[in-house]
Structure 1
Amino acid sequence: MQRTSYKRIILKLSGEALAGQQGYGIDSEMITSIANQVKEVYDMNVEVAIVVGGGNIWRGIAGSKKGMDRATADYMGMLATVMNALALQDALEAIDVPTRVMASIAMQQVAEPYIRRRAIRHLEKGRVVIFAAGTGNPFFSTDTTAALRAAEIEAEVILMAKNKVDGVYTADPFKDATAEKFDTLTYLEVLNKNLGVMDSTASSLCMDNNIPLIVFSITENGNIKRVVQGEKIGTLVKA
């Protein structure tokens, strides 16, 4: 059996990661690639929970900036995450990875309600768990969901998968050619330098609960496995 650095992980997928190069909606090739990478670590007996965003379909904050009620816009964003979770579940089960979608908003026809003890039991039984619908509350991001669920299920690390960058930089590397990549950071540095890795609520929650975060690129096949095996890729953020 291959050695791993972690037994239980939270994989944070942005909606943009599922959109791939097309920038909107769900890219079938990209979601298949992500599913295959998850299977690699699942086959190593790592317990995998996934928090998925919805920005490839709808962003609540963008809707609110156009005059929509913020709470309504955020609830629409939560529904977008459920669509992504179901698509990811389908891709995983197509390659024989047992998966459960647990939603923070009641929709029993398509997903189980989120219950902490049940989620942990699914992981212990060897199922991948996908957390959908954010925290179930407006005004909270899916980054905060990842931090909250990681604390609840006692995950050892949050793996934040990006599809455009391979870590955390001093500035946007697409706009600033002098931007430099960080190998390690503390959550205080993230907050003080306003680096935008996670929102401040998520960063504070991770810092208070001593949950490390690794930011890396999802576009290179095998990267999730490399991180789980302890290879130093991306940027490590710790308390």
Structure 2
Amino acid sequence: MDQDLHRPQALRGHRRPPHLRRQHHRDRHRLLPPRHHPSTRRTTAHPVGIEGYKRIAWEIADQAPAEVRHVVLPTCRGDLAWGVYRGFHDLHELRGTPMPRLHLVEPIPRLAAVLGGAPVTGRFPGDTGRLHSIAGHTTTVQAHRAVTLSGGTAVVVSPESAEEWFARLCGRSHVWERSSVTVFAAHERLRAEGTIRASDHTVLVATSHFFKGL
């Protein structure tokens, strides 16, 4: 059977080098640092799940009309972010596709605190409101790696700001759960700060559905 029939357009006609094929089952952790402390949180997802998230990057590359410079996505434990990073990493290895900067959006400073010098194993209290899908008071090594290896940022969007964007988007017939609309607030802020320029092709990843969390 021709395996290319089951591969995204971005990867058709390319084959992994032998050493990467042999290591494929370990791709999930290949760029993660060793576990130095029993409380270090590397990941919370099954490796197969992370492999599935890689396809988001491949689909973006297939469908984007121009080179993608930034990807903004909601985050909790970083499973989605790490999968998207790994997908773009594959594209970079196989055909030289530039790595976009990944901007991870969270309701309280967790990853942002770690990027500022706090330990990745710490706990970060705060009110996450109705942002259930990205709630929690810890972060992970994989979230940190996805941001740092891509040259991205962590953006804090409060529950109050998410509520404002939720109402604004619902009024325009765009319905996602509150955790997802945080990417629109984050994009507006990144544009205002000059991190994302008007000419930069940017993809916002919105997950889940309107009824979650009601």
Q: Same fold (TM over 0.5)?
A: no
Q: Which has the higher helix share?
A: 2
Q: What TM bracket, shorter-length normalisation? A: 0.3 to 0.5
TM-score, L = length of structure 2:
0.33
